[in-house]
Structure 1
Amino acid sequence: MKEEILSLPRFDMGKSFEISDVKGLYGFYKRNGYGFFAKNPVCIYQNKKIVGVKSPDPIRLSDLKGYERQKNIIIGNTRLFLSGREANNVLLYGDKGTGKSSTVKAVVNEFQEEGLRLIEIRKEDLSDFHTLCEILSESPFKFIVFLDDISFAKEDESFGTLKAVIEGGIVRRPDNVIIYATSNRRHLVNEKFSDREGDDIHIKDTIETITSLSDRFGIEVVFGAPDKDEYLKIVTELAAEQGIEMDAESLYLLAERFALLKSGRSPRTARQFVTSLLARE
């Protein structure tokens, strides 16, 4: 601590501090911000502390092939948020490996210079959400609070907490905070067939409970597994990007064979396939 203090610039007490380029200084701080979040655009909330991620994923939107409609919905909502207008919390759900989490990270990287920041929080820490918001509300930056790959049991305490956090709680969410969440489940709840059994009233109550959380997200974006044509298009674009020269028939045959050995067609499978081709060279 002593060394850090000694390294700070020194100014004479009682004397004015001359600034030759006020507009330039204003522009610098407007572009780069100041304080902790200026140096840490991606953070994790853990153990009641906000911790900066030293090596965040540098993925960009241009790295994500396909799913243009889904990406445009999220980009549009994010632009709205950054402009200071009312924007929706977003739920990205669908098949695994389709780029839900990567899309959120890429959007943050794309708009980082416009003051967008990301803080990932685990569902176990949602009870601290309002404390986190109090901290973030004092910052000039805009924050996406990110819940990645979440699902709940109906009796899960954090299920009710998240419902109150998104909408219906007594504490208002700051204007510079928005929630983006990803899940493989449409309603975020682990369901059993027995949940749908019983008389009509019980079934209705069960369904309303299950859908009550996902309905609180203003925008729901579906990331479904690509069909054959879309999958092969993604493979083709990734292969061309990596400079792989192979006739289309052979490329498609190997790509389909690779998908059969993996968990099916997905952007993740396509990327893994292209990487496996690079390893052969």
Structure 2
Amino acid sequence: MSKKPNKTSRRPAKKAPATRSSKTVRTTAAKRPRPAATPRIDERIALALEAIAAGMAAAAPKRSNADSLASAEAFIWHPDGRLAPVPKVSRVDIELLQGINQQVDTLIENTRRFANGLPANNALLWGARGMGKSSLVKAAHASVNASKSVAGRLKLVEIHREDIESLPALMEQIRASDFYFIVFCDDLSFDGNDASYKSLKAVLEGGIEGRPDNVILYATSNRRHLLAREMIENERSTAINPGEAVEEKVSLSDRFGLWLGFHKCSQDEYLDMVRGYCSHYGIKTDAAELERDALEWSTTRGSRSGRVAWQFVQELAGRLGVKLATK
């Protein structure tokens, strides 16, 4: 009798627990946030010092615009909105300006009226080089500002030719001030397709706000109409209506109510300038020798002007060992 095989129950084999591959481990580890690195001691010190400096700057009392304007009598305008004070203005005394007596009297009277709150005109000083145009503006400001009726309330602000487009921003900054301002642009002229003159036109007369009552503009130029002659002729020759083509640009000089012309000086006027400088600075020399040397100096320069006279006096003072200190 054959035996039946025993039926043993077959249970499925247990699966071994799955193990993570090294790749999976690396990926999981990469996803875990790493603890923030502790700043080094020098970095913490730097951060603390920056915080202290920021707090001190915020707590410091801000200087008002009035305080900054009272700090000096002259300033230079920067297009980023700064009025940089000028500790000492480079200028000559009004009595040293020889050969331009009429121009001196006219500009001083115009400046005095303005500084005393009376109507006055913007002024354009044009003409020959070296005849004292910019020197007159600075000397007139000093003379009027020192008078009892003005008592330092007149400020001189120089704006550079290339910054003319920022002129409206300057007007906005000083419009509400209690001071009076001469805005001065030296050697003003326009070339080519330069359109910045439109900003100047708007401030002079054409804008809605116009020129503030406490601001007057003085400009110097070698050109009466502030434009190069070839620029005017080119516009006239290529335009449909030659007269209207240059009207807009030529009208810029018309917005200066006061025109002061400066012309080349005579030989006698040139020698008077030299003698005036020598007397003012105490330079003593033989009169005949002084005249001969001064004329020879002007001949080598090819011109006679106040600037040439001053250059000769500097040469003479250096040769004689005299310091040019104002008495």
Report Cα offsets for 1:18-52 as digits up to 9, x if no partner: xxxxxxxxxxxxxxxx6111112111111322111
Give the whole-Å Cα distance in 2 for the aligned partners of 1:129 and 1:122.
10
Distance 1:212 1:272, change over 3 A: same
Does structure 1 retain, via aligned residues, the 8 Å contact 2:96–2:273? Answer: no
Matches of residues 21-60 of structure 1 in structure 2 within 5 Å? 35-46=67-78, 47-60=80-93
RMSD: 2.8
**One-letter amino acid matched to 1:147:** C
Task: Give the number of equivalent residue pairs.
Answer: 257
Give the whole-Å Cα distance in 1 for the aligned partners of 2:183 and 2:238.
39
Which of residues 136, 146, 156 in structure 1 aligns to 2:184?
146
Q: 1:123: Cα distance to partner?
A: 3.2
Matches of residues 160-199 of structure 1 in structure 2 within 5 Å? 160-192=198-230, 194-195=233-234, 198=237
Report Cα offsets for 1:156-177 as digits up to 9, x if no partner: 1112221122111122221000
Does structure 2 retain, via aligned residues, the 8 Å contact 1:151–1:185? Answer: yes
Q: 1:65: Cα distance to partner?
A: 2.8
Identity %: 39
Q: 1:206: Cα distance to partner?
A: 4.2
**One-letter amino acid matched to 2:255:** R
Structure 1 stretches of 4+ moved >6 Å: none
Indicate the residue corresponding to 1:95 in structure 2: 128
Distance 1:76 1:237, change over 3 A: same
Gaps of 5+ in 1: 8-33
Q: 1:195: Cα distance to partner?
A: 2.3
Which of residues 197, 202, 205 in structure 1 aligns to 2:244?
205
Who wins on radius of gyration, i.e. which is larger? 2
Q: 1:118: Cα distance to partner?
A: 0.8
Q: 1:196: Cα distance to partner?
A: 7.0
Indicate the residue corresponding to 1:241 in structure 2: 280
Distance 1:258 1:207, change over 3 A: same
Which of residues 119, 134, 159 in structure 1 aligns to 2:157?
119
Distance 1:66 1:262, change over 3 A: same
Which of residues 290, 302, 308 in structure 2 aligns to 1:251?
290
Q: Secondary structure at the match of 1:212?
A: helix
Does structure 1 retain, via aligned residues, the 8 Å contact 2:97–2:132? Answer: yes
Which of residues 82, 88, 96 in structure 2 aligns to 1:63?
96
